[in-house]
Structure 1
Amino acid sequence: MKKILLIPVLILHSYSVKAIQDSTTVDLGEVIIQENRIEIPFNKVSRNISIVSRKEIETTPARSLQEVLSFTPGVDVRQRGVSGVQGDIGIRGGGFEQTLMLINGIKMTDPQTGHHIMNIPIPLQAIQRVEIMKGPASRIYGQNAYAGAVNVVTMLPESKGLNIQAYGGDFGMKGFSVVSALPVTLPFGTYKQSLSVSHDASNGHWYNSDYKVSNVFYEGGMDLNEKNEIRTMVGYTDRSFGANGFYTNSFPDQWESIQTFIASLSHTYSHENVYLQTRAYWRRNSDEFRLRRNEPEFFTNNHVSDVFALELNGRYQSKLGTTGFGLEGRQEKIESNNLGDRERAFLGVFAEHRIEFWENFDFRAGVYSNYYNEYGWKHFPGAELGYQINNSSRLYTNYGASYRIPSFTELYYQDPSNLSNPDLTPEEAQSFEFGYKYGNKGLRLEVVYFNRHTKNLIDWNREPSDIEPNPNRWMPRNISEVTFQGIEIGLQQALKLGSKNFNLSEISLSYNYIDADLKQLPGTESRNTLNAMRHQVIAGVRSEIFTNLELNIKARYIERMALDPYFLMDIRMDYNRLKTFGFFAEASNVTNTDYIEAGFVQMPRRWFRAGISINLQ
């Protein structure tokens, strides 16, 4: 395969520049997990939560959020192609419909299909950190957080700044991003704002896999006074791509074009022991899908979905602990030539309380109650118990119930490869976990056992066939029950080994094992459930060479329940990452592995990209 390294050259007018300081090195013990109500320091959370910091985002060999998440223990990222064109996120054996994606606590739920929840309109360089909550989060975020939740956190800078990146690589790959911070001083305060744009494109790594992805993201906010803050967010992403093998191997000329828009406005009141936040948001997703790219008259689906939501979240601190409460209302609509015109509404009520007792114990319990007109009221209790052994060690356990309503695609979608099933019932699960955390002097260790028992699991099945490709159509069905259980072991050590010319700064290693006890009719072929991870090993080494050169090596071994295992290694090198002018180069799939992550998409063999970065402040 012909290799092409394209390094764009940018010419800037000369002006005063100050090097950006490495403010991305953060003690996780000081990080506050940004749930919508009760906020807890990372080292006091009785859950298995992973945090991807800004520094990790910058130095990971990745061009998209999906690729960054693929190095997170317990997270199963199944990409169709490269650079985040489309990627499904599963947590602890859960499917892409069972994971909730959020931006600053605002839900990116798509009623059409979970394939669209990763249509994040934020350039990677504009993300401050990512919080991954593993296990049921319905009590905290609502019914969509079935197996876990991923919260993308952005920050409004206090001072002016500009970051520019441009890159190129194999498969005609090219792209750029511009992230700017533009605070404005007004007579009554400082209005903080940031604007980010990015564009990525490629000719594709195999037949009909070209893509174009453009993002625009704006965020603004200000403190009205010591008690009140307003904040707004607007984002738009446009994605068009050849979809060979995305959903079926019977039509290699599939094509899709997706546009996602998100807008929100929030007000926060905080004074002494009271915190209240109200917000409203709107998310629109337009999806055009063709079975034959150049013959739209053969088979074309057009879907437009809208989500409108209002939320109230609050907490009250008293001598008895912290009380959290919330109320949400959401309306989901879709207009589609295939799914029809559909509409549904939800009402959710949150209540929880956290106390600390006997010096080293803390307990948190609550319930989320959801009303949906077709199924009535459903209640999802949950509780967490933690014991702080000492400043470094913590034991914890938790329990939670979760619930997921079928998507419009599962209920009504039909094409030459798929059948609908309007008789589907919601999924329900009971989950618990036990864990141990240790953190001291740069060492972080966590060991977790988890168990999730699901009733009425929804999966796409079809009858097997000796004919290739299989002519039988897929259909979603409620499987009677399935139990996922497993262990996760994660180790991360910050180091300073070596000399000034070579310093080993960090090593990490994690292992995940998942077992699925699935009960279904014999002889059926499963699209999602039996493709969950069984073994996952992730290893990483970060080092510093001389003064300004950083090297990050990541390796993964993935074995799924019904697919061939594979091993991948990726490498990234950064030169002058925090200085005014920098250079980076990445190599993916260094081992030249032949593998498939999702659908029928043959992932690329070894490939390269490189680029430059400019930091102004």
Structure 2
Amino acid sequence: MAKRHFLGTVAALGLMAGGAAAQDIINLEEVTFSVSRVPLELGRTGARVQVLTREDIEEANETEVNTVLSRLPGVTMTQRGPIGASGSVRIRGADERYFPVLINGINMSDPSQLQSQFSFAGLTSSAVSRLEVLKGSQSAIYGSNAIAGVVNLTMGEIPDEVGSETKVTTEFGSFNTRRLGLSYGQRFERGEVAFTFERALTDGFSSADENDGNTEDDGFRSTILSFRARHELTDTVAVGASAFYQDSFNEFDAGAGVGGDDPNRFGLSERYGLRGFVEFALGAVENEISIETSRNERADPNAPTTFTTTDFQGGRTGIQYNGRVDLSGNSTLVFGAQYQRETYDAFRPGGASFDGTIRRNALFAEYLYAPTENIDLTFALRREDDSRFGGQITGRAAFVWRPDAATVVRASAGTGFRAPSANEMFGPFGANPNLKPEESESFDIGVSREFGAFKADVALFRTDIDNLIGYTTGYVQIAGRSRLQGVEMSGTYDISDNLSLSGAYTFTDAKDRSGNPVGNVPKHDLAVSVDWKIMEGLRNTTTLAASSERFGFGGSSIPGFGVVNTNFSYDLTERAQLTFRVENIFNKQYQTVEGYGTSDRAFYLGLSSRF
């Protein structure tokens, strides 16, 4: 059943040459919510975007979102230990400082981090109903930090038809791991609402690798709540709101390798975001005004007395206007303005403190044009003014061509920038108030093709970053250009009605200005899955995740590895399912960050039910 929505929620362009009107009635599963200020049908965007639906996420059956993301082409991850440990997600070789993360439409990137970025540590996956990864420089749409792309998460599932659905999930397993998830979604005649709750606890294992003699476990516990709702007051006015909250505790080791154990260190983290919006039509123009706020608070209570700061707080408040007008049957103009205020505080109770405030104003416009029914063009431009260094202009152009029903050719080019974080300019760790933005240029071109039972996608990409901000005895601007380039491929093959094969491969050549490899970026990354419907109601998915040698930030080599996981699911009834999964079947000993451990062979049993 199709649903009608206004601008900014799920309105599709539906552009057709020959004078067809823009469509308001769309299939929600056929659009992307990240590429444009107006969500766009996947087949009509020239930007590279990958979407994981609720079914994809459930089939992956991974505990953390970062692991789910790492199965996509062009996305890799590293982690310093068990669930909740710090780590990094990279898009085409660029880490979180180069892409914002939105949860239920709220920018949850943390201004109090060393670089303003989102921490995936401990973000569990059972409440997530949709994941989108947009690749390439996107500052023309999203402003600062969108050099590598954007990650957009939606939490809470809403039924397609009028009615409600409740889902309960539980899981128990190795390392005394326990998870409970509850979600509720309801669709009304003129609205929708979704709530989620998730609780995760584990004793974990040593963050510092146990093979180096570290035996003290590092545990984790977390609570996640989310909410989103929308209601049509009239045929031309709608209101809505969304929220996200996470409270977590994690034990960690201050060092790695031999002697890395630290039984006293733990971290406390609390983060939340709120967003409200109103949509309304004035003549031919559809409008949306939204207000949002987010806050991240972190503490390291047992930090050594030599640490200047132990508590960090980052906040972001903003207001945004989006407008859309259909200029003709085959062209649309999107335009808007944004104001944002970021705050940063770092302190030690009773000791030193550091703080800073950043304000940004932006104007942007995007023009979408379909010269023929098989071609779509997009052009975007943005000017953003920062209270510290003035104006920055960025742009993006994208092209998509559908020569036949089985082929899509895409190409895009864009510029981006990353403004210095508050910590880099005002913080306790070698701050430099004279820093300027990093700047980027990105290009990609690729083709998607269906060959009957075989579907393939291949893309070439390159991102150049200038004016890199580095660290010596403090933060400094580094002249020269870093280059991240490569190729990503993915495909699926339905061998039979009961057996299918899928895979994703990425080659990344990541070099800094001196031609040295960028730290923790593997040249080769591979994920291959076999999905087997063994019998009615019984299914198995077995996955190989492999990565080549990578170089640590100290220049040392981290060996490549291959890990095999398997997951069984059995439908007890039409609405209840039992799952059993084994991580690291062959008990491979490996590291993704030098000196830090990864899971040994582990077993997990889960049960989910819908009603």
Fold equivalence (TM over 0.5): yes
Q: Paired residue for 1:603, among 590, 598, 605?
A: 598
Query: What are the superposed Cα offsets for residues 327-367 of structure 1, whole Å, 9 maximum, x if unpaired?
Result: 11110012221661211111111111111114433221121
1:32 Cα deviation after fit = 4.0
Structure 1 residues 251, 221: closer, same or farther in 2, change over 3 A?
same
**TM alignment of 1:340-419, pairs within 5 A:** 340-414=354-428, 419=430
Query: What are the superposed Cα offsets for residues 71-113 of structure 1, whole Å, 9 maximum, x if unpaired?
Result: 1110122223344554422111112211211124332222122
**TM alignment of 1:63-212, pairs within 5 A:** 63-83=63-83, 85-113=85-113, 117-118=118-119, 124-154=125-155, 155-157=157-159, 158-182=162-186, 192-206=192-206, 207-212=216-221
Aligned equivalents of 1:246 and 1:348: distance in 2?
42
Partner of 2:240: 231
Q: Which amino acid aligns with 1:305?
A: G
Structure 1 residues 225, 126: closer, same or farther in 2, change over 3 A?
farther
Deviation larger for 597-606 or 399-408: 597-606
Aligned residues: 560
Deviation larger for 418-427 or 529-538: 418-427
Partner of 1:558: 547
Aligned equivalents of 2:255 and 2:158: distance in 1?
37
The answer (yes or no) to whether the contact 1:30–1:42 under 8 Å persists in 2 is: yes
Partner of 1:467: none
Q: Which amino acid aligns with 2:167?
A: N
Partner of 2:530: 541
Aligned equivalents of 1:82 and 1:38: distance in 2?
38
Identity of aligned residues (%): 20
Q: 5+ unaligned residues in a row in structure 2: which ranges?
A: 1-25, 207-215, 552-557
1:27 Cα deviation after fit = 9.6
Q: Which amino acid aligns with 1:210?
A: G
Partner of 2:19: none
Structure 1 residues 85, 159: closer, same or farther in 2, change over 3 A?
farther
SS of alignment partner, residue 126 of structure 2: helix
Aligned equivalents of 1:402 and 1:192: distance in 2?
35
Aligned equivalents of 1:345 and 1:53: distance in 2?
35
Aligned equivalents of 1:33 and 1:285: distance in 2?
25
Aligned equivalents of 1:478 and 1:486: distance in 2?
24
The answer (yes or no) to whether the contact 1:67–1:84 under 8 Å persists in 2 is: no
Q: Which amino acid aligns with 2:336?
A: G
Structure 1 residues 395, 352: closer, same or farther in 2, change over 3 A?
same
Q: Which amino acid aligns with 2:243?
A: V
Q: Which amino acid aligns with 1:134?
A: K
Query: What are the superposed Cα offsets for residues 176-201 of structure 1, whole Å, 9 maximum, x if unpaired?
Result: 11112256x7xxx6553222111111
1:387 Cα deviation after fit = 2.1
1:427 Cα deviation after fit = 1.0
1:576 Cα deviation after fit = 1.3
Partner of 2:342: 332
SS of alignment partner, residue 57 of structure 2: helix
Aligned equivalents of 2:573 and 2:74: distance in 1?
31
Aligned equivalents of 2:496 and 2:422: distance in 1?
52
The answer (yes or no) to whether the contact 1:29–1:42 under 8 Å persists in 2 is: no
Structure 1 residues 577, 49: closer, same or farther in 2, change over 3 A?
farther
Partner of 1:436: 447
Aligned equivalents of 1:29 and 1:440: distance in 2?
22
Partner of 1:13: none
The answer (yes or no) to whether the contact 2:418–2:439 under 8 Å persists in 1 is: yes
SS of alignment partner, residue 225 of structure 1: coil
Aligned equivalents of 1:536 and 1:614: distance in 2?
35
Structure 1 residues 388, 276: closer, same or farther in 2, change over 3 A?
same
1:229 Cα deviation after fit = 1.6
Structure 1 residues 460, 576: closer, same or farther in 2, change over 3 A?
farther
Q: Paired residue for 1:512, among 503, 506, 510?
A: 506
SS of alignment partner, residue 66 of structure 1: helix
Deviation larger for 303-312 or 403-412: 403-412
Query: What are the superposed Cα offsets for residues 538-578 of structure 1, whole Å, 9 maximum, x if unpaired?
Result: 11111212111121112111125413211122211111187
Query: What are the superposed Cα offsets for residues 285-327 of structure 1, whole Å, 9 maximum, x if unpaired?
Result: 11102464xx779775111211001011122112260111121
The answer (yes or no) to whether the contact 1:61–1:552 under 8 Å persists in 2 is: no
Aligned equivalents of 1:375 and 1:93: distance in 2?
27
Structure 1 residues 63, 328: closer, same or farther in 2, change over 3 A?
same
SS of alignment partner, residue 56 of structure 1: helix
The answer (yes or no) to whether the contact 1:166–1:611 under 8 Å persists in 2 is: yes
1:460 Cα deviation after fit = 4.6
Structure 1 residues 559, 459: closer, same or farther in 2, change over 3 A?
farther
The answer (yes or no) to whether the contact 1:289–1:301 under 8 Å persists in 2 is: yes
Aligned equivalents of 1:49 and 1:298: distance in 2?
42
Aligned equivalents of 2:585 and 2:71: distance in 1?
16
1:211 Cα deviation after fit = 0.8
Aligned equivalents of 1:347 and 1:301: distance in 2?
32
SS of alignment partner, residue 109 of structure 1: coil
The answer (yes or no) to whether the contact 2:432–2:474 under 8 Å persists in 1 is: no
1:601 Cα deviation after fit = 2.3
The answer (yes or no) to whether the contact 1:123–1:197 under 8 Å persists in 2 is: no
User: TM-score, with normalisation over the residues of structure 2?
Assistant: 0.84
Query: What are the superposed Cα offsets for residues 138-189 of structure 1, whole Å, 9 maximum, x if unpaired?
Result: 1122222111111113454442221111111111111211112256x7xxx6
Structure 1 residues 521, 36: closer, same or farther in 2, change over 3 A?
closer
Structure 1 residues 40, 182: closer, same or farther in 2, change over 3 A?
closer
Partner of 1:17: none
The answer (yes or no) to whether the contact 2:85–2:252 under 8 Å persists in 1 is: no
The answer (yes or no) to whether the contact 1:100–1:146 under 8 Å persists in 2 is: no
Structure 1 residues 71, 531: closer, same or farther in 2, change over 3 A?
same
Partner of 2:464: 453
